[in-house]
Structure 1
Amino acid sequence: MDRKQEIIEQSVTLFNKKGFFNVSIKDISQTMGISPGNFTYYFKKKENLLAAIQEEVLDNAIEIMPENQYITLFHFEEMFKKFYLIQSKYRFFFLDILYLIEEYPVILEGYKKATLKRFEDARSLVSYFIASDRLVPEGNRVDYKVMIKALWMTSTFWSAGVTIIDQKNTSNRTEDSPLTSLWGILLPYLTDKGYQEYVEITKSSLSKTN
């Protein structure tokens, strides 16, 4: 691992423990046993370090709408499992995201654009599931824009919610994953065919844990 990547990984570990705004360049340098000058050779400011971390978060983003393949609801399960792993690795980013946006609006603009793109991709995935008879058609009582936003808000701010409820900070445990809540949002929209896929996914998950 090169020094720049080592700085990123050590910084993420410290930010996850103490929060982004509670860790200084000096703290990171001391933890790594390097001089502040060595740190600033790679990142002139914490702002530059944050930009590099955000780039990693976005590079690890999940492909919501894979091309040229048959997609089942297993994809939904795997997509949110992977997103939760990203949240766990860069936990501070999602805990502090509102403050980070306020403090560094230019940097976080990239995250906003990526999120809007995910909304578009999610809408395409919903349309695919409707066409393949996994989700009920959109109508007067079914608004998938609302559902997509509910899924996004639940997954993005899950770590913050767990931290508020559980003062022991056990958000890395499997049972604290938002997956059950995400399925709870999606279930009312499933057709009979979609529900049968969900049952199979549940059985598969249970067999893997036993």
Structure 2
Amino acid sequence: MSTKEKILAKALELFNEKGYNNITTRHIAADLSISPGNLHYHFKHSEDIIKILFTELILKMDELLNKIKKKENKTLEDLYLLTFSTCEIFYHYRFIFINLVDVLKKIPEVEAKYEGINFSRREEFQLIFSDLQKNNIFKKDIPDFIMNSLTEQIFIIADNWLTHNRLISKLNKKAAIQSYTLLLMNLFYPLLNKEQQTLYEQQYIR
């Protein structure tokens, strides 16, 4: 692992553990037993580290979504795996969501990317939901306003569940990912056809 990779890994660990606002480049350097000058050779400011970590998050989500979009016959299990994997990725970069307002305020470049991603992700989810309708996983007669609300509901929960867990649920990693995956999946239950609802109850509820 290169020095740059070590810095990114340590920064992510410290940001997740102690919060974005409580960690400086000096803290990261001290934890790695390197000089601040050595760290600043790679990253002048902590904001530069955040930009790369945020880009990593986007790329991991791109890879995940591209994988399911390419699959022609999408199933309930595919939807569950997408939701579970998304929660795993978000947990890995949890400081970004727990400190989202501060991060976006301090780093306009990240704010611009966040806004752009929200727009593109909305279209990607709509395509996935449309495929699930074609494959008779979702009901055919779901009103557009429900589908549009669904996407918004997913985004609101996805961006905020880590804060809710830290403040209210206080679950460990494994339990948190499982619990909030199910919470998100329950949004889909009313949209499933009868057969898929029964399958959902058997596989994920009982």
TM-score, length basis structure 2: 0.89
| Runs of 5+ unmatched residues, structure 1 | none
Distance 1:104 1:175 in 2: 28
Identity fraction in percent: 19
More off after superposition, 183-192 vs 173-182: 173-182
Distance 1:15 1:92 in 2: 6
> Which position in structure 2 is the counterpart of 1:66?
69
Distance 2:75 2:198 in 1: 11
Shift of 1:107: 2.3
1:112 maps onto 2:115 in alignment: yes
> Which position in structure 1 is the counterpart of 2:42?
42
**Contact map agreement 1:119 1:148 (CA 8 A) in 2:** yes
Shift of 1:156: 2.1
Greater helix share, structure number: 2
User: SS of the residue aligned with 2:128?
Assistant: helix
Distance of aligned partners of 1:133 and 1:69 in 2 relative to their CA distance in 1, 3 Å threshold: closer
Distance 1:15 1:59 in 2: 20
Q: Which runs of 4 or more aligned residues in structure 1 lie more than 3 Å from their structure 2 counterparts after TM superposition?
A: none
Shift of 1:90: 1.1
**Contact map agreement 2:91 2:173 (CA 8 A) in 1:** yes
Distance 1:196 1:132 in 2: 16
1:122 maps onto 2:125 in alignment: yes
User: SS of the residue aligned with 1:165?
Assistant: helix
Distance of aligned partners of 1:154 and 1:128 in 2 relative to their CA distance in 1, 3 Å threshold: same
1:139 maps onto 2:143 in alignment: yes
Distance 2:11 2:47 in 1: 12
User: SS of the residue aligned with 1:170?
Assistant: coil
| Runs of 5+ unmatched residues, structure 2 | none
User: SS of the residue aligned with 2:188?
Assistant: helix
> Which position in structure 2 is the counterpart of 1:173?
174
**Contact map agreement 1:133 1:193 (CA 8 A) in 2:** no
User: SS of the residue aligned with 1:185?
Assistant: coil
1:82 maps onto 2:88 in alignment: no
Distance 1:37 1:127 in 2: 52
Alignment RMSD: 2.0
**Contact map agreement 1:163 1:171 (CA 8 A) in 2:** no
User: SS of the residue aligned with 1:134?
Assistant: coil
Number of residue pairs matched by the alignment: 201
Distance 1:181 1:124 in 2: 22
User: SS of the residue aligned with 1:71?
Assistant: coil
